[in-house]
């Protein structure tokens, strides 16, 4: 986990039009993202449509991704599942693949575990898998407060950090201010990555990084170099892209953005809707504004 920092792109999972997974498109995307300077990859998260993968598909995707990466940058394995046992099964399935962390989403169905049950959930996962954990704090009806996240990181040493999502910058600021130095609080607040880095985030894991990796890396570098004029300019030019892709059919829109930049990434899996013509126009204009097409 100490090697995990900067731009961690949550790449898209390629599906054919009939809905089958197309693993032949994994390596070209991995190579494209690395050529654009990303510092790590995350597979099987929201942008990667991990919620629609059965366990066999999940394992095949992770194996293909690890092979394509060939240890060039760290790999984070996303897991979206509603039972402790299924998370453990998927976590154990990637143990041979040299993943640096499991990015685990709290239960995404209707019934929210109480705080003690949530702590036990992550305790059991780490005891069984023995892989560092990032909590992917994104599910609106199972959103974990800064108090609970800090408690989990204190009581479960294997939980080394959080990927803090949703657009509430106050929650992100509270969490990163109160976290211990060893707690890694990554930003998934796509529209405010500039501010997240200034507040001390060690990096980001967010969809916009996959849609526009080059400018996203440039923004990170500008903040590191304290080139505030360049950083603000990149922030302002990236925001229209997030406005264009940050919708309910985001995987389709992210893939369309990649396609416009010459990368074939297939389709989103149904029932996610394809990009509409008005949506495509907004994505295209945002990419032109970033000088990517």
pLDDT at 186: 97
Please state, for a pLDDT cut of 90, what percent of the chain lies above it. 94
Cis peptide before 183 (omega within 30 of 0): no
pLDDT at 178: 96
Please state, for a pLDDT cut of 70, what percent of the chain lies above it. 99
Indicate the domain borders of the chain.
6-227
pLDDT digits (tens, 9 = 90+) for 20-52: 999 999 999 999 999 999 999 999 999 999 999
The model's confidence at residue 2, banded by pLDDT at 50, 70 and 90, is: low
| C-beta separation of 50 from 104 below 8 A | no
Residue 20: partners with Cβ closer than 8 Å, 6 or more residues away: none
Minimum mean pLDDT among 51-65, 158-172, 242-256, 273-287: which range? 158-172
Please give the average per-residue pLDDT across 266-280, as a whole number: 97
pTM equals 0.95
Residue 69, pLDDT > 80, answer yes
Residue 126, pLDDT > 90, answer yes
The model's confidence at residue 110, banded by pLDDT at 50, 70 and 90, is: confident
pLDDT at 59: 97
The overall average pLDDT reported for the chain is 96
CATH of domain 6-227: 3.20.20.70
Phi first, then psi: what are they for 83, rounded to 5°?
-120, 145
Residue 166, pLDDT > 80, answer no
In 3D space, the residue among 251, 279, 276 whose CA is nearest the CA of residue 266 turns out to be 251
- Alpha helical stretches, state H, the chain: 26-35, 55-69, 84-93, 115-129, 146-155, 169-178, 193-199, 207-211, 213-224, 228-245, 250-260, 277-289
The four Cα atoms 239, 252, 93, 105 give a dihedral, to 10 degrees, of: 50
The four Cα atoms 90, 92, 97, 101 give a dihedral, to 10 degrees, of: 80
In 3D space, the residue among 224, 252, 264, 167 whose CA is nearest the CA of residue 37 turns out to be 224
Please give the average per-residue pLDDT across 176-201, as a whole number: 95
Alpha-carbon torsion (293, 215, 6, 181), positive or negative: negative
pLDDT digits (tens, 9 = 90+) for 213-271: 999 999 999 999 999 999 999 999 999 999 999 999 999 999 999 999 999 999 999 99
Q: What is the CA radius of gyration of the chain?
A: 18
| C-beta separation of 27 from 35 below 8 A | no
Spatial distance between the Cα atoms of 68 and 214, rounded to a whole number of angstroms = 20
pLDDT at 3: 81
């Amino acid at each position: 986990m100490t090697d995990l920092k900067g731009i961690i792109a949550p790449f898209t999972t390629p599906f054919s039009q009939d809905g089958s997974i197309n693993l032949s498109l994994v390596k070209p995307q991995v190579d494209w993202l690395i050529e654009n300077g990303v510092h790590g990859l995350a597979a099987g998260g929201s942008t990667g449509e991990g919620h629609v993968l059965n366990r066999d598909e999940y394992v095949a995707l992770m194996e293909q991704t690890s092979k394509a990466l060939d240890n060039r940058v760290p790999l984070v394995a996303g897991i979206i599942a509603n039972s402790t046992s299924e998370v453990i099964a998927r976590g154990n399935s990637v143990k041979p693949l040299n993943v640096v962390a499991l990015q685990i989403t709290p239960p995404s169905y209707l019934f929210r575990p109480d705080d003690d049950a949530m702590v036990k959930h992550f305790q059991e996962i780490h005891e069984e898998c023995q892989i560092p954990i990032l909590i992917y704090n994104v599910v609106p009806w199972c959103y974990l407060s800064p108090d609970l996240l800090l408690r989990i990181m204190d009581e479960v040493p294997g939980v080394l950090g959080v990927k803090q999502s949703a657009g509430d910058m106050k929650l992100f600021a509270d969490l990163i201010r109160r976290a211990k130095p060893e707690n890694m609080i990554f930003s998934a607040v796509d529209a405010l990555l500039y501010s997240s880095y200034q507040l001390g985030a060690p990096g980001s894991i967010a969809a916009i990084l996959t849609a526009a990796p080059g400018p996203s890396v440039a923004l990170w570098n500008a903040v590191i170099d304290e080139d505030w004029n360049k950083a603000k300019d990149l922030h302002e030019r990236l925001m229209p892209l997030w406005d264009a892709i940050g919708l309910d059919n985001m995987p389709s829109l992210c893939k369309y953005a990649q396609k416009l930049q010459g990368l074939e990434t297939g389709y989103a899996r149904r029932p996610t809707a394809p990009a509409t013509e008005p949506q495509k126009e907004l994505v295209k204009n945002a990419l032109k504004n970033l000088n990517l097409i």
